[in-house]
Amino acid sequence: MKKHFFSIIFLAFAVNAASAQAKHEDTEFYTPVPAVVTPTYINKAAPPPDAIVLFDGKSLDQWVSTGDTTKPANWTVGKGLLTVNKSAGNIQTRQSFQDYQLHLEWRIPKNITGTSQGRGNSGLFLASIGKGDAGYELQIMDSYNNPTYVNGQAGSIYKQFAPMVNPSLPPGEWQSYDVAWKAPRFNDDGSVLSPARVTVHFNGILVQNNVELKGPTLYVGQPSYKKHNAANPIKLQSHGDKSEPISFRNIWIRSL
């Protein structure tokens, strides 16, 4: 019994040591590099009649602060645009959504500076399951002539799936995401009944084709599922990089 006890202690120590040594570089991949394609279909898509308009160019009534959901979102609204306020933190929708179709348009500033992940970085969290950057992130950043790890470029499911191709437009031009999201489901015991799935069109080009997510997206470590609600808010990220803040417009959603 004593020997068995010390074996358990040693195993726990080894697992903790391995976890402590995990680095963000462990889950960053640089090849193969997605081919660059020029999109031919860019559309400012009007919301269909059954859509919920999340941003109409005038109001942030549909959004709250992620840090304190009792407080209104404190990003900048002007000239029909929603611009990230980097000092205010992330924002998320007042409502929670389960399975849905989402349209969102975003623009990298024309005078953007920085390189790699420090260049126009933001994120669309398809389900926000906690404060900060917890959830399932579709990466937003400048990936036009801006090399970075491929599973962290625009159109990637962050640190899990690189986009199939890179249809990024130059800074200063409007770009679009059209997303079909199916939330994960869990059994009563916490095991996964069905994992999350997502399809993404980036500037009209298919870049994620019904991919099966491995769990919430992580900066460090390997993803895995823990039971959570099927319906969750959608979150926009205020990233900590030093480049100029990006803007959004024309955001709408259809529950499926």
User: What string of DSSP letters covers 6-46?
Assistant: HHHHHHHHHHHHHHHT--GGGG----SPPEE---S----PP
Per DSSP, the three-state class of 178 is strand
Position with higher pLDDT, 179 vs 86: 179
Paired tokens of 140: 């937003």
| Residue 116 buriedness (CB in 10 A; 0-12 / 13-18 / 19+) | middle
Stretch 226-239: mean pLDDT, rounded? 94
Domain ranges of the chain: 48-255
CA triple 177-179-181, angle to 5 deg: 155
Parallel, antiparallel or unpaired: strands 35-36 and 165-166:
parallel
Q: What is the CATH number of domain 48-255?
A: 2.60.120.560
Stretch 7-27: mean pLDDT, rounded? 61
Stretch 94-122: mean pLDDT, rounded? 93
Which run of H or E residues covers position 135?
A: strand 135-140
pLDDT tens, 130-167?
A: 887 889 999 999 999 999 999 999 999 999 999 999 99
| pLDDT (0 to 100) of residue 206 | 97
Q: Which residue has the tokens 């348009």?
A: 105
Per DSSP, the three-state class of 248 is strand
Position with higher pLDDT, 17 vs 120: 120
Stretch 215-229: mean pLDDT, rounded? 94
Stretch 55-74: mean pLDDT, rounded? 94
State the maximum Cα–Cα separation within the chain, in Å, rounded to a whole number.
Answer: 72
